[in-house]
Amino acid sequence: MNMHDLEAFVAVVETGSIVAASARLNLTQPGVTRRIQNLEQALAADLLDRQSKPFKPTAAGKEAYEHARRMIRSLEDLKAGLREEGDLNGEFRLGVMPHLSELSLSHPLDRLRGEFPHLTLKIASGWSPRLVDQVSRSELDAAVVALPDGVPPPDGLVGEELGAQRVLVVAAPALGVPADPTIPELASFPWVVNENGCGFRDYIRHALESARLPFNAAVEAMSADLRLSLVARGLGIGVVTPSALAGSPWRDAVEIVRVKGFSPVVRCWAIHRPPAGRLSRPIATFAAAVRDELAATAE
């Protein structure tokens, strides 16, 4: 058993296949298979359920995976510790929600690049459920996600709360939404929302369905500016962050709808798998910068 065998096993668990693991490690598929077999022989245990597609670890494999991850991360930390303080290099795989680009990631990323100029940043965008899953499977080193108020990150992940993100309900005057409507009054109107997985959409859907009211998602669109343009044309009620509304050319064509007893809020979290190891400082730097940006927009 050696580190190469461990790295191959970890790659297969995280990618779900020999083919994907060979691409990640730049090895031939037989080479990856041989390393997995070497590890299983050394541990005298079957580590992969080869009948499942994608491959999944057995009970012994799950335990071996956690030990292997820690050993690989410890080796990376040892190498990093021999370099000058702050001179981290390699990849930092970071996941962010789409609406954070509306918040503006420029300052957090500038701070990260300024403190760790030799890190190669790989930014992935996605909705929170997908990002949580990618962090859990070590496809991302860390992510900033939005969770409903009062819901913590899943077990097995380290989470740092960054602050609340509120959302505004907006509509075109021509749509005829009553002044100061109740939640039941909103249920009769269509919605222009993000795709499934958006924390704001999930909050609204849950609020309506909890009251046994329908949620009619008439239009799904990723871009906040596109959604606001559709709302301005009267296609439905929309939701938008205050910062996105303030910077939109459609801000004067829509009205903020103040709903009785309804204040959509999600909490932003920075999440990562333990141990963070050599990436603990970059993760902390980015989380602090996003927290500052959220606080600034809240003001």
pLDDT tens for each residue of 179-213: 889 888 888 999 998 877 676 787 788 888 888 99
Predicted pLDDT of residue 298: 63
pLDDT at 140 over 80: yes
Q: What is the pLDDT of residues 253-293, one digit of tens each?
A: 999 999 887 777 778 899 998 878 788 889 999 999 999 88
Predicted pLDDT of residue 294: 81
> What is the mean pLDDT of the segment spanning 241-262?
86
Q: What angle do CA 294, 295, 299 make, to 5 degrees?
A: 115
Dihedral angle sign, alpha carbons of residues 137, 98, 147, 297 = positive
Q: Identity (one letter) of the amino acid at 280? A: S
Residue identified by tokens 């798998």 is 273
> What is the mean pLDDT of the segment spanning 27-32?
93
Q: What percent of the chain has pLDDT over 90?
A: 38
pLDDT at 150 over 90: no
Residue-averaged pLDDT of the chain: 86
Predicted pLDDT of residue 259: 87
Q: How confident is the model at residue 297 (pLDDT cuts 50, 70, 90)?
A: low
pLDDT at 82 over 70: no
* Domains, the chain, ordered by start: 3-81 (1.10.10.10), 90-158+274-298 (3.40.190.10), 168-263 (3.40.190.10)
Q: Whole-angstrom Cα distance, residue 155 to residue 143?
A: 15
Q: How confident is the model at residue 103 (pLDDT cuts 50, 70, 90)?
A: low
Q: Whole-angstrom Cα distance, residue 197 to residue 200?
A: 9
> What is the mean pLDDT of the segment spanning 90-105?
76
Predicted pLDDT of residue 263: 76
Q: What percent of the chain has pLDDT over 70?
A: 92
Most confident of 32-41, 163-172, 236-245: 32-41
pLDDT at 86 over 50: no
Name the more confident of 150 and 82: 150
pLDDT at 85 over 60: no
pLDDT at 83 over 70: no
CA Rg, the chain, in Å?
A: 23
Predicted pLDDT of residue 97: 83
Predicted pLDDT of residue 78: 67
